[in-house]
Structure 1
Amino acid sequence: MPSAILAAALSFAALASLVTAPAAAAPARYRLLTSAAYRVDVGNRNVHVGVEVAFTNTTPDPPGRYSVFDSAELAIHDGASAVTARDARGDLRVARTRASGVNVASVTLRAPLRYNQTARFRLAYDLPDGSQADVRVRASVVTLPVWSFGTRSEVTLDLPAAYTVRVAGDQMRATTTGATTRLSSGTIPDPAGWLALVSGEQATDRVTARRTVQLGGRSIELEVSSWSDDTAWGTSTADLLAEAFPRLERAIGIPYGGSGPLLVRESVAGPGNGFDAGAATSGSGIAIGFDQPRFTALHQAAHLWFGARFASDAWIREGLASHFAALVALDLKVPLPIDAAARTAQLKPDAFPLADWTISAAGRLDAYGYAASWRTIDLVAARQGAPALEAALRRITSGGSPYPITGVSAPSPASVAQPVDSRRFLDHLEGSDGQGLASLFAEQVLPRTAILELPARARARTAVTMLRSAAAGWGIPRPVRDAMDGWRFTDAQDQMTLARRFLAERDRFLPIVTAAGLSAPMRLQQRYEARGGGAESHEELRAEAAVVSAYTHATQRAAQPRSFTERIGLAVASDPESLLATANARYARGDLQGAAGAIGEAERQLDGAAAAGLTRLASTVVVLLLAVAGIALLFRRRTAAARR
């Protein structure tokens, strides 16, 4: 978000050409030509600013009066000190005043300036290191806002060539001569609209402040690297984050999943006051601008949970980071950089759909984007409650769907969490049955194309609720879920029509399973969850129904009275009841082929029981006859032997 300094600087530039005219004069018209030179003095940690001014009164004398100016006023930096003014004859009187919150140097002219006269003088002042938030002059880093003065201007800035220079905002051309780099603006026809944010960095020694924090049930090393000429920043940032990280983890409700040490690096910030749009957060590393408020460290730390892998839309990442950073900031008594609600209302003329926001690290659109994102997440948390928000964040992190297949949204082992966009974020926040956020998203987040889809979405979500009720615990099939996740609501409705037809057949079938004394296997539910009400699910149902029918027929036959010969035939064969019990168990496990085999074997035993009984009886008679014959033969032999 553009900093307050940026906005102020533009105001300063707008006021840079103000002059004071006596009340008797006509409305002021003048020409204020300036040439401003900024010189960086690293040894003394100072920036010397000199402005050569040629001030011409171009207001004609009114009838009977004179057009005169007694003074000239130029806006100067808030951190300015040692403010002086001189003309060719010596020192001029300078008074510092405030006008509309702007620091103004009022230079009293040597003599009243009449029409077509020109006064020339030099305004000078210093900008010491730290004189304002974005002014630093040290061996490690030089940063300062550079602007121009008057109605037409040119600006130069000299600094040691050892610095690698970066210019944000209006550009300046760099040339290096010997040990000095000069940045030049060229002619500036509209100084009121010109601003350059200059930073220079050179390689210097760094020092590391180390702390140990408990995250994710583990001890994690926190390492904060600062420039050797700013060790206080490293110490204070390490102390703050050591307290903040565990609080962030508890507030977010998701264990920190990173590995290795947490690395924080002091850097040159972008112009995002309080959010540090120029900072980087990736993996377990954070870069934070040296001049940023303490809240920025909390905001950037929260991005370790809410980075590009979590959400593809910037407003989601930034809004969540600000929301949770604010919760921790209140606990740690860290001031908030803005009132998100008030700032959003103030910037309402700049409003746009947050889903369209691309961070540029400058401009009023970013100011609105940061404030409105924060405000929107605050409203979500207030309406849904912290537990519902935490549940949604867990689903997103784990790769779950807002439309769980079986009522438990744990992803399959092959699931990989994908970054969510604004539409899927809305789905996760509302869950599969919740309502209440669509109007907020329509007002703040979604582009018109997505808003036009909301009525179809509402109808489809109502149908999902009805489908879940009809499914009686089976949840939402994957084809429906995939269509809903993709906001393909016509496809979702078509898939739900197929699913409802299938469920009607299922509801007719399951009582038959129960009446047969069987337990329905998970196969049918699994097929429904994977394929919905399509052909494959119906094929599965028919296959199971065939097994149930065969089992019912076999159990009915097995329960009928048996003749003597059938009982004899089954006495030595497999018991049909045992085979049917095996079939029952196999069916419950989902082994339809094994169940069908056991049923078939039971049927074969029943079919052959009578014949087997006759065969058994015949075999028994033959055995008995043979036994009798053997006994008779043995008796005769013993009798004959006795006679001898």
Structure 2
Amino acid sequence: MPTGTFGHGFLRRLERAGRLFAVAVVGLGFLLPVPVRAAEGDLAFAAEARWKVDVTDRSVAVDVEVSTGDGGAFGGVTLSIPPDAEDVVVDVDGVPTQDVELDPGPDLLVVDVTVPEARTITVHFRLRDRGFRVPSSVRVNDAYFFVPAWAWGDPGHAVVVVDVPDTYEVFYHGDVEPELRSTLRRTILEVTDLDDPETFVLPVSGRRTEAMTAVHLEPSGASRIVVRGWPGDDEWLELTTATIEGATPLLADLVGLPWPVKLLEVWESIEPSVEGYGGWFLEDEASIEIGEDLDPRVVVHELTHLWFHEGLFTERWITEGLAEVFADHVVATLGHEAATPTRPRLDDPAAFPLDGWPPLGEDTSEDVDAREVWAYDASWWLVDEIVDEAGIEEMAPVFEAAARDLAAYRADDVDPETVAADDDTRRFLDLVEELTGAEIDGVILAEFTGIPDAVLADRAAARRAYAALAAAGDGWSPPWAVRRAMGEWRFDVARQEMARSEALLARRNELAELLAAADLAVPEDLERRYESAGDLGAVAADLDAATRAAPALVAAAESLDVRRGLLALLGGFEDRLEERWEAVLRRYGEGHYDRAEEQARALVAEAEGASSAGLLRLLLAVGIVGAAAVGGTVLRRRGRGDPRVPGYHPPG
């Protein structure tokens, strides 16, 4: 008689609606099987596996019925089942049998059934929830259950049925869509005709919100937060709520961005642990799921993902690295032991350029688990190096610029421009270096991110030229045409624009020297136009106009200086000319160069005419005063009398 041998490989993938962000952990709380499938001959074996959640008993009852695909007889079966299986019973054609051998192992429990003849063999066993933070295959309580339902049988002949109470909100995950139906207050999920039963798993979870133990928080720096834990797991609830209350204001202050959600729900869940993570943030649902382990770093890490997600920076290594670094800092501030990253090996078989790290659940590599662990470690170490150089307290402007799409390269006298560029590795590097003053090691960036050495060398040379241009500006920041090209990493274009900018600065210096002769300054508006110019041709035209107008302004200034004494004689006329001179300077400063030149020339003519009138008035005034002085003497003499004139009477 033929026999069938069935094992199982756990497909460690899980997909949820919304983006998942997670923190890698070492070790799993669940016992997961490994593949041991070995088909025998051409005989097809069919297997229907039924997983039934028993809340009262806090367990899952599993029945695996094996038969041949054509209904023929066979002589036995060997099944690999979870190692924590209890109450194993085998039926042969509906009758219990003792012809069973159990071979326990660390990863699987092998059930070997040998009989003379059978048409169906059913293996019954039970998986119990052994308690919080105790390794077991399932979790079942009044508020939550989790079942990793896997299959047996040959390809095309495997069926999985999961039977759960309909009082739970049910979630299922994976690539296969199960058929759903309800019956007798139960919810049934069924998958048939599986192509690869060895690696198939249907993770099914359920929760009853009203049965969860809930704590409502409104910590400083946040809006409402509701933490929901399993009934009886007070340790998890106390640690999680205390960590959130302490960490939230610290994170809000460090990140500097507004609290992003109106309501955040934090759930105790085993699903992240099964996937090899401590927790994850479901962005679309504004919720966090955290495993049952008591780890404040995981709690804070997931809190940071309210800000650190692909909406802020597109590269996963940046958001995960930031989450780890900021979590470590906050955890240490709260008095917990902080962890220190170590530099990962670049020759590790799992190593790859971090810019190529796929989103969670999208890596189809065979060594996905090792790649995930390496990428988390590498991201943590690399971002720690960057933030250490920048200063963690100096990172808030970086996040603001990324969130608001503000330019990294900025001018002193112009509001930051907005950009349409993706917030990828290159922009992250620009923002950190420009807004914090940090200098990031280009070698490690090339080694870990995959940006070519030549590109980083070209950038370094362009940045040196950019710094030289900024210094030559003597207070004038490089124009937008240069800054835009630098931010887009178009360094050839940036160099061309820098050369044009240097020529403009030389002409500005000539203008400054010309204006200095009359103690005048280059117009501030010209500086603003230069710094904000996306087209330097317009600035060149402005410089031409300003230079053409400059001699007229110098002449006007000199004319007024020479004539101010005479103009003072005109009784208020000097004030009127000064007001007009101020108007000329104002128009020149605002960039109305032709109009300023015209008014300056008119002012010179008016000042010259006014000074002539002033001179005439001065001469007339001098003449009148002189005549008055002579006349006064005569009159005074006549008034006193003359001894030679009759009628004179001397005093006394």
Give the Cα separation in 1 of the matches to 2:551 and 2:602: 12
Residue of structure 1 in register with 2:570 after alignment? 572
Q: CA deviation at 1:508?
A: 2.6
Instruction: State whether structure 2 residue 36 is matched by structure 1 residue 15.
Output: yes
Query: Is the 8 Å Cα contact of residues 134 and 291 (structure 1) preserved in structure 2?
Result: no
Q: Secondary structure at the match of 1:204?
A: helix
Q: Which moved more, 1:616-625 or 1:397-406?
A: 616-625
Residue of structure 1 in register with 2:491 after alignment? 489
Residue of structure 1 in register with 2:139 after alignment? 136
Equivalent in 480, 483, 489 of residue 478 of structure 1: 480
Alpha-carbon spacing, 1:537–1:440, altered in 2? closer, same or farther (3 Å): same
Equivalent in 104, 107, 130 of residue 109 of structure 2: 104
Residue of structure 2 in register with 1:185 after alignment? 191
Residue of structure 1 in register with 2:397 after alignment? 394
Residue of structure 1 in register with 2:512 after alignment? 510
Q: Secondary structure at the match of 1:165?
A: strand
Question: Residue deviations 1:144-175, cap 9 Å, x none?
Answer: 11112355643322222344433222443233
Alpha-carbon spacing, 1:434–1:243, altered in 2? closer, same or farther (3 Å): closer
Alpha-carbon spacing, 1:533–1:46, altered in 2? closer, same or farther (3 Å): closer
Give the Cα separation in 1 of the matches to 2:160 and 2:289: 30
Q: Secondary structure at the match of 1:535?
A: helix
Query: Is the 8 Å Cα contact of residues 2 and 273 (structure 1) preserved in structure 2?
Result: no
Alpha-carbon spacing, 1:171–1:77, altered in 2? closer, same or farther (3 Å): farther
Instruction: Output aligned runs, 1:457-606, within 5 Å.
Output: 457-531=459-533, 534-546=536-548, 548-554=550-556, 556=558, 571-572=569-570, 587=585, 590=589, 601=603, 604-606=606-608
Alpha-carbon spacing, 1:346–1:267, altered in 2? closer, same or farther (3 Å): farther
Q: Secondary structure at the match of 1:44?
A: coil
Q: Secondary structure at the match of 2:277?
A: coil
Query: Is the 8 Å Cα contact of residues 88 and 123 (structure 2) preserved in structure 1?
Result: yes
Give the Cα separation in 1 of the matches to 2:364 and 2:342: 19
Residue of structure 2 in register with 1:287 after alignment? 288
Residue of structure 1 in register with 2:258 after alignment? 257
Instruction: State whether structure 2 residue 254 is matched by structure 1 residue 241.
Output: no
Equivalent in 82, 85, 109 of residue 77 of structure 1: 82
Equivalent in 177, 199, 202 of residue 205 of structure 2: 199
Q: Secondary structure at the match of 1:12?
A: coil
| Paired amino acid for 2:400 | T
Residue of structure 2 in register with 1:639 after alignment? none
Query: Is the 8 Å Cα contact of residues 34 and 107 (structure 2) preserved in structure 1?
Result: no
Give the Cα separation in 2 of the matches to 1:85 and 1:335: 51
Question: Residue deviations 1:79-124, cap 9 Å, x none?
Answer: 43334445546335554532xx5132354746xx8xxx77975433
Give the Cα separation in 2 of the matches to 1:336 and 1:586: 66
Q: CA deviation at 1:471?
A: 1.8
Residue of structure 2 in register with 1:147 after alignment? 150
Instruction: State whether structure 2 residue 327 is matched by structure 1 residue 325.
Output: yes
Q: CA deviation at 1:300?
A: 1.4
Give the Cα separation in 2 of the matches to 1:293 and 1:417: 42
Give the Cα separation in 1 of the matches to 2:260 and 2:49: 51
Give the Cα separation in 1 of the matches to 2:568 and 2:148: 102
Q: CA deviation at 1:48?
A: 0.8
Q: CA deviation at 1:237?
A: 1.6
Residue of structure 1 in register with 2:425 after alignment? 422
Alpha-carbon spacing, 1:334–1:137, altered in 2? closer, same or farther (3 Å): farther
Give the Cα separation in 2 of the matches to 1:417 and 1:490: 20
Give the Cα separation in 2 of the matches to 1:358 and 1:525: 45
Query: Is the 8 Å Cα contact of residues 511 and 550 (structure 2) preserved in structure 1?
Result: no
Give the Cα separation in 2 of the matches to 1:552 and 1:5: 77
Alpha-carbon spacing, 1:389–1:264, altered in 2? closer, same or farther (3 Å): same
Residue of structure 2 in register with 1:161 after alignment? 166
Q: CA deviation at 1:223?
A: 3.7
Q: Secondary structure at the match of 2:240?
A: helix
Q: CA deviation at 1:397?
A: 1.2
Residue of structure 1 in register with 2:127 after alignment? 127
Q: CA deviation at 1:246?
A: 4.5
Residue of structure 2 in register with 1:23 after alignment? none
Question: Residue deviations 1:579-627, cap 9 Å, x none?
Answer: 6799589859936779875785466334553454235535775798899
Query: Is the 8 Å Cα contact of residues 293 and 337 (structure 1) preserved in structure 2?
Result: no
Q: Secondary structure at the match of 1:166?
A: strand
Q: CA deviation at 1:395?
A: 2.8
Q: Secondary structure at the match of 1:474?
A: coil
Query: Normalized against structure 1, the TM-score is what?
Result: 0.73
Q: CA deviation at 1:302?
A: 0.8
Q: Which moved more, 1:595-604 or 1:396-405?
A: 595-604
Gaps in structure 2 of 5+ consecutive residues? 1-11, 15-24, 70-74, 639-646, 648-652
Query: Is the 8 Å Cα contact of residues 48 and 159 (structure 2) preserved in structure 1?
Result: yes
Q: Secondary structure at the match of 1:494?
A: helix
Alpha-carbon spacing, 1:487–1:520, altered in 2? closer, same or farther (3 Å): same
Give the Cα separation in 2 of the matches to 1:55 and 1:91: 21
Q: CA deviation at 1:18?
A: 9.2
Alpha-carbon spacing, 1:336–1:94, altered in 2? closer, same or farther (3 Å): farther
| Paired amino acid for 2:62 | V
Give the Cα separation in 1 of the matches to 2:216 and 2:310: 27
Q: Secondary structure at the match of 2:193?
A: strand
Give the Cα separation in 2 of the matches to 1:623 and 1:291: 107
Give the Cα separation in 1 of the matches to 2:224 and 2:373: 30
Q: Secondary structure at the match of 1:402?
A: coil
Residue of structure 2 in register with 1:24 after alignment? none
| Paired amino acid for 1:75 | S
Query: Is the 8 Å Cα contact of residues 156 and 183 (structure 1) preserved in structure 2?
Result: yes
Q: CA deviation at 1:199?
A: 1.9
Alpha-carbon spacing, 1:493–1:209, altered in 2? closer, same or farther (3 Å): same
Question: Residue deviations 1:345-381, cap 9 Å, x none?
Answer: 4533xx4653563333775587535752552352243
Query: Is the 8 Å Cα contact of residues 354 and 445 (structure 1) preserved in structure 2?
Result: yes
| Paired amino acid for 1:12 | P
Q: CA deviation at 1:209?
A: 1.6
Alpha-carbon spacing, 1:551–1:500, altered in 2? closer, same or farther (3 Å): same
What is the root-mean-square deviation in Å for CA atoms of aligned residues? 5.2
Query: Is the 8 Å Cα contact of residues 172 and 204 (structure 2) preserved in structure 1?
Result: yes
Query: Is the 8 Å Cα contact of residues 266 and 288 (structure 2) preserved in structure 1?
Result: yes
Pairs aligned (count): 594
Alpha-carbon spacing, 1:203–1:383, altered in 2? closer, same or farther (3 Å): closer
Alpha-carbon spacing, 1:310–1:334, altered in 2? closer, same or farther (3 Å): same
Query: Is the 8 Å Cα contact of residues 315 and 370 (structure 1) preserved in structure 2?
Result: no
Gaps in structure 1 of 5+ consecutive residues? 20-27, 57-68, 636-641
Give the Cα separation in 1 of the matches to 2:171 and 2:343: 30
Query: Is the 8 Å Cα contact of residues 223 and 259 (structure 2) preserved in structure 1?
Result: no
| Paired amino acid for 1:472 | D
Instruction: State whether structure 2 residue 54 is matched by structure 1 residue 41.
Output: yes
Give the Cα separation in 2 of the matches to 1:293 and 1:548: 74
Q: Which moved more, 1:191-200 or 1:158-167?
A: 158-167
Query: Is the 8 Å Cα contact of residues 214 and 227 (structure 2) preserved in structure 1?
Result: yes
Alpha-carbon spacing, 1:354–1:624, altered in 2? closer, same or farther (3 Å): closer
Q: Which moved more, 1:222-231 or 1:190-199?
A: 222-231
Give the Cα separation in 1 of the matches to 2:201 and 2:261: 42
**Residue identity (%):** 22
Q: CA deviation at 1:301?
A: 0.4
